[in-house]
A and B are shown apart, each in its own frame.
Chain A
């Protein structure tokens, strides 16, 4: 374990401009191992942009990102994945025409041994088996690994997407609206998965509009408004009313 005072993942003074539009303006926040951070804000507050910077999809215009205290630069999502940071994007994390196991192993396929493996030939049976085990391990019961994702219900798809991200994450997992479009029971399962990921010592960034979920599962809440952090405090200091007020700006901070 690294020194608990060194944050696992940190952004310092991150800025991002799209032309003349300032999406992020001097954003700072930290996440420690085994900590769940809630990232909230109204539409257009900069959540998605921040997620893209954290996951390597976009490079910030200014500022720095530190992983375990060391500055890092993500040139692509691949770099961030390699470093142990998994991201679950809102809605579009899976390839619907591929099977469950193909999605779980997408980009990290297991190949057969020998020369055929060097040519990229896949070890499909092993992946089917391991995908099933991985999903079970993070607490997801999913139908056969070889079914195509397009045949699954919305809740099952989301479960596969989360299971995929959680089972691969080694350090940080970023979940962008993971409880969207889910029924109450499925949402509860997702929150359970987040708790289990926390117990495994992962840092979890939980982005959601569903404030009761945020209050229920997070340790700290970071509130973004118009590209700035307007609040960063332990979850215990918020109640639903105060959180909503902070997001909308009805309660002025600082």
Chain B
């Protein structure tokens, strides 16, 4: 019993183990699974999820929640698509167009993050309600501006960036891994993360220690928005167009990844490595089930079981403390 306890106390170990078991299981069921193209596909699914989940980790660690990440992905992709379509029509250089598109997508994310920050810190709305409002507003704008269909006719070169060249990884994937690593370092080694944990752990203590809690929360929601904006651009590159429905239910994936990673929704507890592994587990399961021929509708059930399992293990660790 003691040994089981010791092992269960190490969340990261459990997550790695779970991932290894899944890969082994899917590979035995269908050997095609264990291949570079499939891994490449999993990583392409993972990239936008992990971007949203990393921002969500900061928000959840601070004791809040950001429900708007999925809609931000959609709206930022659509906005970038409109700008890139005009630039392409005007005959602009393709790489330059893609670069501008990326900044537009990040800018839209930044704006939504600012709106969230304003609603939460100035209008004193609860994060759940504030970001529920921006979730609806951003998705609504996606439909209104596009009329419901994808916006294409952008730079043809965009989709070529989604081709893997470094094992299963493509260029945007590599950039995203670097961004995730940097966000992890800021979370665990720098003031940004320290204050985030402090606020999530005891916001009164944080405030009385002289931390500008509102400013800090604003930074976190803006960060979450910008990362989701990047995810929007990533999906544009993958699909070659900006779809008004892209990122739909992304917030649930992001929150699930954070929770599976071992974070507490009440804030203060969790690690970025948990989120990275949690999102990898989610996308591996999704792809694996398809490859072994399980009907896609089972996906949601399996994800639900994963979340319940993760929460159970977390509870188990808490009961068995000491």
Report A's interface with B, CB cutoff 8 A.
55, 57, 76-78, 81-82, 87, 89, 92-98, 102-103, 106-109, 111, 119-122, 124
Contact = CB atoms under 8 A, between A and B. Distances in A.
26 contacts: A76-B207, A77-B207, A77-B209, A77-B210, A81-B209, A87-B208, A93-B205, A95-B198, A95-B205, A95-B268, A97-B200, A97-B269, A98-B194, A98-B197, A106-B209, A106-B211, A107-B206, A107-B211, A108-B210, A111-B191, A119-B186, A120-B186, A120-B190, A121-B189, A122-B191, A122-B194
B318 to A, nearest CB: 11
B198 A98 contact: yes
Contacts of B204: 89, 92
Interface string B179-209: 0000001100111101001101110111111
Contact of B202 (A94, A120, A121): A94
A116 to B, nearest CB: 8
Nearest to A149: B201
Nearest to B205: A95
**Chain B interface size range:** 20 to 34
A102 to B, nearest CB: 6
Give the one of A82, A97, A122 with max B CB within 10 A. A97
B160 interface: no
A130 B268 CA distance: 24
Nearest to B322: A151
Give the one of A57, A103, A120 with max B CB within 10 A. A120
Nearest to B264: A97
A185 to B, nearest CB: 23
Nearest to A111: B191
Closest 5 CB pairs of A and B: A107-B209, A120-B191, A97-B268, A95-B201, A78-B210
Contacts of A102: 194, 197-198
B212 interface: yes
Interface of B: 185-186, 189-192, 194, 197-198, 200-202, 204-212, 268-269
Nearest to B207: A77
A143 to B, nearest CB: 15
Nearest to A88: B208
B202 A95 contact: yes
A109 B198 CA distance: 12
A58 B208 CA distance: 11
Contacts of A121: 185, 189-191
A89 B202 CA distance: 13
